[in-house]
Structure 1
Amino acid sequence: MEGTGKVAFPRPDPPIVGKVNHHSIELYWDINNAYQIRGPVKNWFKFSIEEEDLKTHAYGTIYSGYSRKHVVEGLEPSSTYRFRLKVTEFNGECAYSPLVSVSTTREPMNGEHLHRAVNMDDEGATRNVLQSGHMKVDVPDKLGFTPLMVAAQKGYLRLVKLLVEYGANIHRDNGSGKNSVMLACFSGHLDVVQYLRTQGASWETRDKSGCTAMHWAVDGGHVNVIQWMINDGCEVDTRDRHSQWTPLMRVSALTGNTDIARSLIRAGAEVNAKDRDGKSPLMVAALNNHEDLVRLLIESGADCSITNEYGISIAEMAKAFDRQNVVLILEKNKEERRLSVR
């Protein structure tokens, strides 16, 4: 017993442990009112909860007052803590209880654990989190990506199958409207694309700009994915909502990839389609100085005489933007056509 002089009241029992979780411990004491004194507050017993520092074995007071209950919060999960109760009489005499040792529980699994496991391609950890049953399989991260979207984008086929097994929604989209199959198409993960199709992924779904999986596959530049999509019946001339661009127009605007363009054209893509501003794939390719694509489009029947909504021709556009090599290609084609009709 600690204190000064002889203490006239009994040594208190250790605090009773109530509810415990991963970040808090409930303690309560004197349930039988052994230290109840009637009269003014100044004559009441005062209670303090002290915590032992496990390294220095010094004590620090974490609660002091007249209550008979306290919840210790802000604790670390899976950690041990030691507490004692101090009872102080109005005259300053005090007594201490024996120590009570309590361990917090393990932190429950949450969305961060699931996303961390998926990002690390850790199948065992992913399965453990899913089996804990503490969160939804489609919990989004800060960017609005579900674990399935992340796995599909990274090409983690085993995790994609595992997440679907646990009920992941393959049709769910993120903030821009892209779903898992679009992300897999853009990233070039054919095996993931093929699996998601067996699970019902649609080629017709659009994101918020009106783009389909084919638009995103074209942007990603993966010929093997695009060819498989074509063979699987995916439409090659779907237009987005903003610019009315077909996948072929996106090739003309962005990458100029002739292998992709050739696959689209062979599958029936319209080489003379016009976008919202009246530009054709050839015009767009010329403006972006994609010389090889300009040649391919001309060889594939692109009309060099098409004008945009302002009546400006492809050659005029190329000259205005100083696309000299394209101008030469167009002039050569014009001359060859002139000679062929003689």
Structure 2
Amino acid sequence: MEPAVERRAISKPHPPVVGRVSHHNIQLNWDFEGQRNGPQEQWIKFSVEEEDPKLHTYGIIYTGYARQHVVEGLEPRTTYRFRLKVTNPAGDSAYSSPICVTTTREPMSGAQLHRAVSMNDLNAVLTILQGKQVMVDTLNKLGFTALMVASQKGYSRLVEILVENGAEVNKKNSSGKDSLMIACFSGHLDIVQYLRSQGASWQSKDLGGCTAMHWAADGGHYDVIQWMIEDGCTVDDKDSGLEWTPLMRLCAMSGKRDVADLLIEAGADVNMKDKDGKTPLMVAALNNHEDLVQLLLEKGADSSVKNEYGKGALEMARSLNRMTVASLIEANKIRERLPTSSEDAESH
């Protein structure tokens, strides 16, 4: 039998300490004695709860072991009510007294700037920026700057105006994406080229370890990826999650054969493995991209490779009833076993 968890009365925690407050975010901090003694299952767990002002009930917005949480997506000049809940390993809980926090006023003309950018209204954007009362990199509720929005929508002249007025080219949103990644995904080659000319970097990575090439592969825009390769962007970086390369992402999503061919010709490894031992061929087979499976086999993908669970691309295709894909892989195996013309000549 496992030893019983010692039950101790848990003391009432202090309310969260308010950190940085903006018009859309509130940072809350806390500490608690004995928080991290021993293995994690013996740690104190924290929950932040927010009050519903209409129902006067609390709902959990964060649970974990951290000592800080940023509440995002809030309304400007609005009061919010929070409390901290602490729970010990035995399941006993205690609540802090609630605290009230009011978000700040939205920066002057911030909303107007984003509205003008979304409508591609060049005159309105210029008027707002020339008034010098608004920060050009003011974020909207989604955490995007005006430059990110213009890069996403393909507003080339507006992108130039924003950069000329001080927009930070390499600024990132809350997920770590910058304007270059957004433009690559959206397929706006002219904006990609302009941002590069203004110092945007191919080496930048988002919070998941993805580069602009990963996002370009997700978008599947041939002309963009072709130019990126010509401009020196690498093609085989792995993200920090599944450890996927851009080619693997392409195999999972659009499955575009012509784009995959570009990546492979630029040096993408068709036998690269992710953290589970999957190769691009396995990913393409799982997602039933028949043309892409054929291309990968033609480019030297090894169908005999197994993942860490002992399964290869053929087994994966069969398990999901991808019969055309399975037949392509089987046919390739047969071709590999046939003697070459030179071997035939030697045998005679």
Q: When the two structures are superposed, what TM-score results if normalisation uses the length of structure 1?
A: 0.67
Quote the residue 1:132 is aligned against: 131
Quote the residue 1:247 is aligned against: 246
Quote the residue 2:165 is aligned against: 166
Aligned equivalents of 2:160 and 2:314: distance in 1? 51
Aligned equivalents of 1:340 and 1:149: distance in 2? 56
Quote the residue 2:233 is aligned against: 234
Aligned equivalents of 1:318 and 1:221: distance in 2? 24
**Deviation digits for residues 238-264 of structure 1 (CA, Å, limit 9, x no counterpart):** 100000000000111111110110000
Aligned equivalents of 2:291 and 2:172: distance in 1? 36
SS of the residue 2:163 aligns to: helix
Quote the residue 2:144 is aligned against: 145
Quote the residue 1:206 is aligned against: 205
After TM superposition, the structure 1 stretch with the greater mean CA deviation from structure 2, 227-236 or 162-171, is: 162-171
Quote the residue 1:337 is aligned against: 336
Quote the residue 2:296 is aligned against: 297
Quote the residue 1:272 is aligned against: 271
Quote the residue 1:286 is aligned against: 285
Aligned equivalents of 1:215 and 1:228: distance in 2? 14
Contact preservation (8 Å) 1:109, 1:132: no
Quote the residue 2:85 is aligned against: none
Q: Which has the larger radius of gyration?
A: 1
The Cα of 1:220 is off from its aligned counterpart by: 0.7
Contact preservation (8 Å) 1:214, 1:226: yes
Quote the residue 1:73 is aligned against: none
**Deviation digits for residues 84-117 of structure 1 (CA, Å, limit 9, x no counterpart):** xxxxxxxxxxxxxxxxxxxxxxxx9510111111
Q: When the two structures are superposed, what TM-score results if normalisation uses the length of structure 2?
A: 0.66
Contact preservation (8 Å) 1:258, 1:296: yes
Alpha-carbon RMSD: 1.2
SS of the residue 1:227 aligns to: helix
Contact preservation (8 Å) 1:109, 1:129: no
Contact preservation (8 Å) 1:203, 1:212: yes
Structure 2 residue runs of 5 or longer lacking an equivalent are: 1-106
Contact preservation (8 Å) 1:248, 1:281: yes
After TM superposition, the structure 1 stretch with the greater mean CA deviation from structure 2, 309-318 or 224-233, is: 309-318
- Note the 1:62-211 alignment, pairs <5 A: 110-211=109-210
Quote the residue 1:222 is aligned against: 221
The Cα of 1:135 is off from its aligned counterpart by: 1.2
Structure 1 runs of 4+ aligned residues shifted over 4 Å read: none
The Cα of 1:340 is off from its aligned counterpart by: 2.8
Quote the residue 2:256 is aligned against: 257
SS of the residue 2:180 aligns to: helix
The residue type equivalent to 1:337 in the other structure is E
Aligned equivalents of 2:142 and 2:318: distance in 1? 43
The residue type equivalent to 1:272 in the other structure is N
The residue type equivalent to 2:303 in the other structure is C
Aligned equivalents of 2:339 and 2:239: distance in 1? 38
The Cα of 1:157 is off from its aligned counterpart by: 1.1
Aligned equivalents of 1:166 and 1:316: distance in 2? 56
Quote the residue 2:318 is aligned against: 319
The residue type equivalent to 2:322 in the other structure is R
Aligned equivalents of 1:127 and 1:186: distance in 2? 27
Aligned equivalents of 1:155 and 1:325: distance in 2? 39
The residue type equivalent to 1:146 in the other structure is T
After TM superposition, the structure 1 stretch with the greater mean CA deviation from structure 2, 332-341 or 250-259, is: 332-341
The Cα of 1:216 is off from its aligned counterpart by: 0.5
SS of the residue 1:334 aligns to: helix
**Deviation digits for residues 194-217 of structure 1 (CA, Å, limit 9, x no counterpart):** 000011000010011110000001
